[in-house]
Amino acid sequence: MTRQFFIGFVFIILMASLCSCESRSGVTAETECFKADSVYYAKGFEISRFDDWIIVNVRNPWDTLKTLRRYVLIDKNKPLPDSLPEGIIIRTPVEKAVFYTSVHASMVVQMGRIDAIKGVCEIQYVTDSLILERIADGRIADIGLATAPNIEKIIELDTELIIASPYENSGYGAAEKLGIPIVEAADYMENHPLGRTEWGRFYGLLFGEGERADSIFFATRDRYNHLKNLAAKSEKRPRVLLERKYGASWIIPAGGSYIGTIHSDAGADYIFSDFEGSESVHQTFESVLDRAYDADIWLFKYDTKHEYTYDILKDEYQPYSNFRPFKEKNIYICHTIRTTYYDDITLHPDRLLEDLIFIYHPELMPGYDLRYYAPMK
């Protein structure tokens, strides 16, 4: 066997392994050839590129062995193929989308496609100035509550796509009967901040901005890991308590959530890091006090009209004063409406990581000005 023949034979075998010639679900041999995009941190989706479409499989975050949704993205500027794979067909780039959360709308703004945002739910939580401007002049519609969206308005906008955050054992009511594709944006269930960021690569494909989304992800990844390595230089790891009581429960981010991960990457010892999974856990005040009364630092977010102070926090619930960070005046607070916390955290967790490193290890970041959090007064 000659060397040239051997090389040619190996090449044929490799190509055959990559491109099956059998037809599946009406898919022709020409469209069987595909390549899978590398996904580095996200566990909730996978991307496969075929000749005539892109398939995105979104895993069920509550049962990762199952698929939540299968989306088939097809260029709207090309004829629709005669044979299509199973899945929800989305013609791209999407030009008219409705968003159930301002977080995902803001992500699309950062990809340069604000023109595709036609409606947003719960506009009271919008902090992106460009979206607010378009809401004010009517170019972006108020769609009402995410749990009870204005269906008539969605129809009136000639909506091509709805992007919503899924919750276990819940649906989308009348919106599911409109025949409009609904993308279930389960990025909040990722256990790594960069896993959430990587979902932007999927969203970028929907709006014809795949390359820009990739660029944002890789730049964020590099900066995040640089900051993580900086935090690792500190030998001390302050014990950290997060959030506060809401009603009868204290909602604790699990240690396996992206929030638990980012505090660990910032060089903190998250007190509830042993709570597995990526969902928040409801705890009684007494159980939190028992484990975290001697925490070094306490951070919480809020969206009330008033600013929190030590006096207001104590008036709200006197037992808060039993925590060491309260006694030693070491509480940091973040107003999520007066800052761009939620707009930034998905595509730019590196910015939040900066804040946290400064809070936990100020000696590593001299001269830094906090972006989201501030010492409570």
Taking the CB of residue 149, how many other CB atoms lie within 10 A of it? Answer: 22
DSSP conformational letter for 116: G
Q: Is the Cβ–Cβ distance between 295 and 240 less than 8 Å? A: yes
Give the DSSP H/E element, type plus range, for residue 141: strand 141-142
Q: What is the pLDDT of residue 32?
A: 54
Q: Is the pLDDT of residue 8 over 60?
A: no
DSSP conformational letter for 39: -
Angle, vertex CA 72, rays to CA 71 and CA 76, nearest 5: 130
**Distance between CA atoms of 177 and 338, rounded to whole angstroms?**
37
Token representation of residue 196: 């959430």
Q: What is the pLDDT of residue 9?
A: 40
Give the DSSP H/E element, type plus range, for residue 36: strand 34-36
Q: Is the pLDDT of residue 23 over 90?
A: no
Phi/psi region, residue 204 (left: phi>0; alpha: psi -120 to 50; beta: rest), is alpha
**Distance between CA atoms of 140 and 2, rounded to whole angstroms?**
67
In the chain, % of residues over pLDDT 90: 88
**Distance between CA atoms of 154 and 228, rounded to whole angstroms?**
42
Residue pointed to by tokens 């979104």? 58
Give the DSSP H/E element, type plus range, for residue 334: strand 331-335
Tell me the per-residue pLDDT of 155-176, one tens digit each, with 9 for 90 and over.
Answer: 999 999 999 999 987 899 999 9
- Tell me the average pLDDT across 5-23: 39
> What is the SS3 assignment for 208?
coil
Taking the CB of residue 236, how many other CB atoms lie within 10 A of it? Answer: 11
Q: Is the pLDDT of residue 26 over 80?
A: no
Q: What is the pLDDT of residue 33?
A: 53
Q: CA of 234: how far to CAs of 227, 266, 297, 298, 362, in Å?
A: 12, 10, 16, 19, 10
- CATH 3.40.50.1980 positions along the chain are 233-375
**Distance between CA atoms of 54 and 70, rounded to whole angstroms?**
10
Q: Which CATH number describes the domain made up of 233-375?
A: 3.40.50.1980
Tell me the per-residue pLDDT of 33-62, one tens digit each, with 9 for 90 and over.
Answer: 567 889 999 999 999 999 999 999 999 999
Is 33 or 357 the better-scoring residue by pLDDT?
357
Comparing CA positions, the residue from 78, 77, 81, 111 lying closest to residue 97 is: 111
Tell me the per-residue pLDDT of 243-287, one tens digit each, with 9 for 90 and over.
Answer: 999 999 999 999 999 999 999 999 999 999 999 989 999 999 999
Q: Is the pLDDT of residue 12 over 60?
A: no
Q: Is the pLDDT of residue 79 over 90?
A: yes
Taking the CB of residue 322, how many other CB atoms lie within 10 A of it? Answer: 11
Tell me the per-residue pLDDT of 218-233, one tens digit each, with 9 for 90 and over.
Answer: 999 999 999 999 999 9
Tell me the per-residue pLDDT of 135-155, one tens digit each, with 9 for 90 and over.
Answer: 999 999 999 999 999 999 999
Tell me the per-residue pLDDT of 280-339, one tens digit each, with 9 for 90 and over.
Answer: 999 999 999 999 999 999 999 999 999 999 999 999 999 999 999 999 999 999 999 999
Q: Is the Cβ–Cβ distance between 263 and 192 less than 8 Å? A: no
**What is the pLDDT of the chain when averaged over all its residues?**
92
Q: Is the pLDDT of residue 19 over 60?
A: no
What predicted TM-score, i.e. pTM, was given to this entire model? 0.89
